[in-house]
Amino acid sequence: MKVKHLITIILMTPLVAFAEASTCYGTTSNGRLSHGVKLPSEGKNFVTYSTMARLAGRTYVHSEVRSIIVAAYKDIEAEQPDKVYKYAETGFEEGGEFKPHKTHRNGLSVDFTTPVKDKSGKSVHLPTTPFNKLGYNIEFDANSQYDGLYIDYEAMAAHVVALHKQAKKHGHDLWRVIFDPKLKPNLFKTKYGEYLKTNVQFSKRASWVRHDDHYHVDFDIPCK
């Protein structure tokens, strides 16, 4: 084979072909990650919570988690074409301590920004700026409202279901979903309620940080 042709093949071969699968170690609260991969900055129906945070290396996950997340967004694109989503903090490329989070240490923990609707009912992104700590300083009231925005429980429920179904397709599962216990019952009032009750494990206790502006998902993938 001529050198010129060999170089052409190398340049045209997708980089993903050379990527190694991730390996997680330990637990979400005491672990690390090998060969972590970064989530895409955006897709047709999703975006990252912060370009700067992404560039700072705060959106790495296990390779299987990335595949599940991207596939789930694709599924929702067909089922809920008018909904938009945003993901938040995940972890570092090699895992380990990830302040201010107590978990997110082995590539299996992902925060997703709570989907919202404006007053007209249109699906919009929750604002994530340095002024509200990239969304983590937002507080929804008892009516699921914040500054003219309302939690879109239908969109959120559809997303959790899509994540669970894709996790199962990939031979894995969801370990748990953490969301504000006082707001969580609203998810079960959606058309996805029965599926969620039957298949998804939600944390029953309030976390040390209120999970209303985001929902935390831990994926159940074997680690060493």
Q: Is residue 40 part of a domain?
A: yes
Q: Note whether residue 65 is domain-resident.
A: yes
∠ CA 128-88-35, nearest 5°, is: 145
Name the residue among 123, 65, 103, 108 with its Cα closest to residue 218. 108
Q: Provide the domain limits for residue 145.
A: 22-220
**What average pLDDT does range 172-184 have in this prediction?**
96
Q: What is the DSSP letter of 91?
A: -
Residue 94 lies in a domain: yes
Residue 48: name the closest of 79, 78, 68, 73 by CA: 73
Write the CA distances from 18 to 14, 30, 35, 50, integer angstroms: 8, 29, 12, 28
Written as one letter, the residue type at 140 is F
> With contact defined as beta carbons under 8 Å apart, do 87 and 72 qualify?
no
Give me the pLDDT at residue 17, please. 40
- Compute the distance between CA of residue 158 and CA of residue 81 in angstroms, rounded to an integer: 12
**Residue 17 in domain:** no
Give a yes or no: residue 140 inside a domain.
yes
* Percent residues over pLDDT 70 in the chain: 90
Strand partners, 87: 48, 112
Reference 163, options 180, 151, 175; nearest CA is 175
**Owner of token pair 């994540």:** 163
Is there a cis peptide before residue 100, judged by omega within 30 degrees of 0?
Answer: yes
Quote the pLDDT of residue 209. 72
Q: How far apart are the first and last CA of the chain?
A: 42
**In the chain, which ranges are continuous DSSP H helix?**
3-12, 51-55, 63-79, 153-169, 193-199
pLDDT value for 208: 63
96 φ/ψ sector (left φ>0, alpha ψ -120 to 50, else beta): left
**Within 10 A of 34 (CB to CB), how many other CB atoms are there?**
17
For the cut 90, the answer to whether the pLDDT of residue 9 exceeds it is: no
Confirm whether 12 is domain-assigned.
no
175 in a structural domain: yes
The total number of structural domains in the chain stands at: 1
Q: Is residue 8 part of a domain?
A: no
What CATH number does the domain containing 190 carry? 3.30.1380.10
Digit-coded pLDDT (tens) for 93-149: 999 999 999 999 999 999 999 999 999 999 999 999 999 999 999 999 999 999 999
* Pair of tokens at residue 136: 């983590």
